Chains A and B, each alone.
Chain A
């Protein structure tokens, strides 16, 4: 079967990529585009380490085929910090000690980013619900909850100012 050429716009940059029909979006972004920030933890959509935004929707990219993403806008962890400035979610993860081994963190940050776009003022229970598809084995989640709530507060303050 010949490779198929697809168009992906990743973090604002458009690429034409020749993909095998069985390649996942995660594999394509990591291996063909060299964006290795997104991780594969399970390959079955259960751990969330590969979370990305696909046309604005949070997906586990290990179970999305690259050909399904043809023509789509993709945001990965590499696209979050702007002009060398960490996104408030990233900043809060650093400051609250929410990062240990770090392998789940790109996906976890994307899921938190997605939550705060939809719900800028979440309760603890809303945070726990929104992150339930992202497994972390190191932190016991506590400092991740603190980070997401702190980021929400900072973003609300910055939004109010700006």
Chain B
């Protein structure tokens, strides 16, 4: 019966999220799930049919809407990532994404604070994470200094950045309060704008709640040539790993030059519901897991 209670909570939270964005003047949009090309990412595998693939994130279509002049948009949609299954992963999951024109990642951090505060009354008594308190913030460089056995630069260099993040850092993050990790190494910020005062990092941040990665946002890169180079670089890594090579999203690249300086963020709804209901696994907050189908 706990699962039914969780699903009621889930519906309540999703409704509250819609309310939050509506009152902030955001337009809810629906973009197609079936795409001729996703953004090539080193370690995200799309599920493909014929010459199409299911979206791994709605970001390309949402950014194309920014290019067309929409300035505040949000979407709650399903995303698919092949072979991602664990206690906190589903190969089909629900993502909230929102984008703001004429904004940067600091504006999104503010949105996160306001959204969590708005959702605080919908948190179940079983949940141990207070959405209402002050956020902790730390740069990725400093968080490596504090919690990891290597510096951020060394970890990027020898390819252990992700491993140290998952094994050493995430478990050490304070669990009771929201935590913002920001300024990721440029190599780990494929669609983000580099920081003007320190181009070795990108204007990307992640929101952690209870040591769990909840959202990833950045100041959007809007230089089409640089974006093309980064896609090609990602495909090179994919080829080295023996992963499928993704076609480039040409229409997106053609339009990107007309995008205002913008910021966008993706937030995992299932994980947010996990935390709001005090659930230990993602299985407890969805109607059916893949194994139950």
* A and B found bound together: no
By a beta-carbon cutoff of 8 Å, the part of chain B in contact with chain A is none
By a beta-carbon cutoff of 8 Å, the part of chain A in contact with chain B is none
